[in-house]
């Protein structure tokens, strides 16, 4: 959430910057609510001061035996006016918070201003696109013979946009997760296994509500109003709500594996078949709490951590600095790491690393305190490290062979008992 003091100081400049991310962004409601709330609070303070003054005078008059009826009547009127203003304040403050919470984070000054993702700046490219001397297949076509995952049976259980992994597909998925977790631990991240169901206020603290209400899976049983997490970022961000962290503990660099749940309302397209975009997918998430002066350094660490995983898998990728119009809601700066998928003939994001500055911590009130100083808001950072579904696509499509088999990257083979190749199934496909 943005600092209201920043908006008060220069609303035109803030709105101009907001529009670089969301062209229709407006501060009209925020400013209007804020002005009225401040007016009411000032008026109530004046009325209360007048009431206190009148109470002293009434007491003096009564002690002297003088008539204080007019002042008592005035006190009654003051009480009614204060009550009416307090009631208006109670109605306005939630509307103000809601309007403020719908504003995205401000991009850093050096981010390229553009609404077009095609203007994203490639800051690094590693490896080369594979060349095939035979007609190659996409991962859905490869799966017809390899039988690694089953969309039809998942649809029977849950609906379209879900998948069930099986056999070598399940083992390869688990190998990917273990490879990523082990690598992050070696790089100094502390592992967490958080809940995948969180309270509404935790989702709000991460910036997912109220803006993205229609993208969430709600879990409501009459007593609780909870949600399935869209990413472990939400849960990790909620670890220290309303807490003050010791300065010497920062930065805190965490990672967690969780399934992620997203409704992806209106996002499923005809070109995004198979595992490209799912309602449930597995992901290892990186997350950090830092001092403001540490956040850029940790941001670069996160980017490098994601790139290192892809290099270990020997997958061609590029890293792109996103323009203002393509950045995530809570981010001030984002680099996407995109892997090449031959079957789609394009790059797809497998990691999005963002510096959210104090946008989330202002919602969650996670702070740190220097010795002898006042509490300050921490900076939060997040990054996929990595999401597995598109990685599975990348491994299958980039490592396919002419006979329909797929070579397994060397870094994954120890997690698969030394298996170095996935071969097409030999049993009737409806039985495997």
Q: Please give the chain's pLDDT, 432 residues, in tens.
A: 999 999 999 999 999 999 999 999 999 999 999 999 999 999 999 998 988 888 888 888 778 888 878 887 788 888 899 999 999 999 999 999 999 999 999 999 999 999 999 999 999 999 999 999 999 999 999 999 999 999 999 999 999 999 999 999 999 999 999 999 999 999 999 999 999 999 999 999 999 999 899 999 999 888 888 999 999 999 999 999 999 999 999 999 999 999 999 997 545 444 578 999 999 999 999 999 999 999 999 999 999 999 999 999 999 999 999 999 999 999 999 999 999 999 999 999 999 999 999 999 999 999 999 888 899 999 999 999 999 999 999 999 999 999 999 999 999 999 999 999 999 975 444 554
Torsion of CA 207, 210, 215, 221, to 10 degrees: 110
How far is it, in rounded angstroms, from Cα 426 to Cα 432?
9
How much is the pLDDT for 426?
A: 57
Q: Which CATH superfamily is domain 117-431 in?
A: Bira Bifunctional Protein; Domain 2 (3.30.930.10)
Alpha helices, DSSP H, located in 138-292: 139-146, 151-157, 167-186, 200-205, 232-237
How much is the pLDDT for 111?
A: 98
How much is the pLDDT for 368?
A: 98
How much is the pLDDT for 265?
A: 55
How much is the pLDDT for 370?
A: 87
Pairing of strands 346-355, 280-290: unpaired
Torsion of CA 103, 118, 380, 125, to 10 degrees: 180
Burial 408-425 (b: 16+ CB within 10 A, else e): bbebbeebbeebeebeeb
Q: Which of 322, 359, 277 is nearest to 103 (CA)?
A: 359
Q: Helix, strand or coil for residue 357?
A: coil
How far is it, in rounded angstroms, from Cα 273 to Cα 261?
18
In the chain, residues under CATH classification 1.10.287.40 are 28-101
* CB-CB neighbours of 65 under 10 Å: 7
How much is the pLDDT for 73?
A: 79
CA 74 to chain centre: 53
How far is it, in rounded angstroms, from Cα 343 to Cα 70?
86
How far is it, in rounded angstroms, from Cα 395 to Cα 309?
13
Please tell me what DSSP assigns to residue 115: S
In the chain, residues under CATH classification 3.30.930.10 are 117-431
CATH 1.10.287.40 fits 28-101, yes or no: yes
How much is the pLDDT for 257?
A: 98
How much is the pLDDT for 243?
A: 98
Question: Would you say how long the chain is, in residues?
Answer: 432
Cis ω for the linkage preceding 338 (within 30 of 0): no
Burial 68-101 (b: 16+ CB within 10 A, else e): beeeeeebeeeeeebeebeeebeebeeebbebbb
Quick one: 52 exposed, middle or buried, by C-beta within 10 A (0-12, 13-18, 19+)?
exposed
Query: Would you state the structure tokens that stand for residue 24, as one six-digit string?
Result: 């229709």
């Amino acid at each position: 959430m943005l600092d209201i003091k920043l908006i008060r100081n220069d609303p035109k400049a803030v709105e101009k910057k907001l529009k670089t991310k969301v062209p229709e962004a407006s501060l009209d409601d925020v400013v209007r609510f804020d002005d009225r709330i401040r007016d009411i609070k000032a008026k109530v303070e004046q009325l209360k001061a007048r009431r206190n003054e009148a109470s002293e005078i009434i007491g003096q008059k009564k002690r002297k035996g003088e008539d204080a009826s007019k002042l008592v009547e005035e006190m009654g009127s003051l009480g009614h006016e204060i009550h009416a203003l307090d009631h208006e304040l109670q109605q306005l403050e939630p509307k103000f918070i809601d309007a403020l919470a719908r504003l995205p984070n401000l991009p850093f000054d050096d981010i390229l201003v553009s609404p077009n993702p095609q203007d994203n700046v490639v800051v690094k490219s590693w490896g080369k696109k594979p060349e095939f001397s035979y007609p190659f297949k996409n991962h859905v076509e490869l799966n017809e013979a390899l039988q690694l995952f089953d969309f039809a049976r998942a649809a029977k259980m849950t609906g379209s946009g879900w998948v069930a992994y099986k056999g070598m597909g399940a083992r390869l998925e688990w190998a990917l997760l273990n490879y990523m977790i082990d690598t992050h631990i070696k790089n100094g991240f502390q592992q967490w296994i958080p809940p995948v169901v969180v309270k509404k206020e935790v989702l709000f603290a991460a910036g997912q509500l109220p803006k993205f209400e229609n993208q969430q899976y709600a879990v409501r049983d009459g007593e609780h109003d909870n949600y399935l997490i869209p990413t472990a970022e939400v849960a990790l961000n909620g670890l220290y709500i309303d807490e003050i962290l010791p300065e010497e503990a920062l930065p805190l660099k965490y990672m967690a594996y969780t399934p992620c749940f997203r409704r992806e309302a209106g996002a499923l397209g005809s070109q995004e078949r198979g595992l490209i975009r799912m309602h449930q997918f597995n992901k290892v998430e990186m997350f950090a709490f830092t001092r403001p002066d540490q956040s850029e350094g940790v941001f670069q660490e996160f980017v490098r951590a994601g790139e290192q995983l892809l290099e270990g898998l020997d997958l061609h990728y590029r890293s792109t600095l996103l323009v203002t119009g393509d950045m995530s809601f809570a981010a001030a700066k984002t680099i996407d790491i995109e892997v090449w998928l031959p079957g789609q003939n394009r790059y797809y994001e497998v990691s999005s690393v963002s510096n959210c500055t104090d946008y989330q911590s202002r919602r969650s009130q996670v702070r740190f305190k220097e010795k002898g100083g006042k509490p300050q808001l921490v900076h939060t950072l997040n990054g996929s490290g990595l999401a597995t579904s598109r990685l599975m696509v990348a491994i299958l499509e980039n490592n396919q062979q002419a006979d329909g088999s797929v070579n397994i990257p060397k870094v994954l083979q120890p997690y698969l008992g030394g298996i170095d190749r996935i071969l097409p199934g030999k049993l009737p496909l409806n039985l495997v």
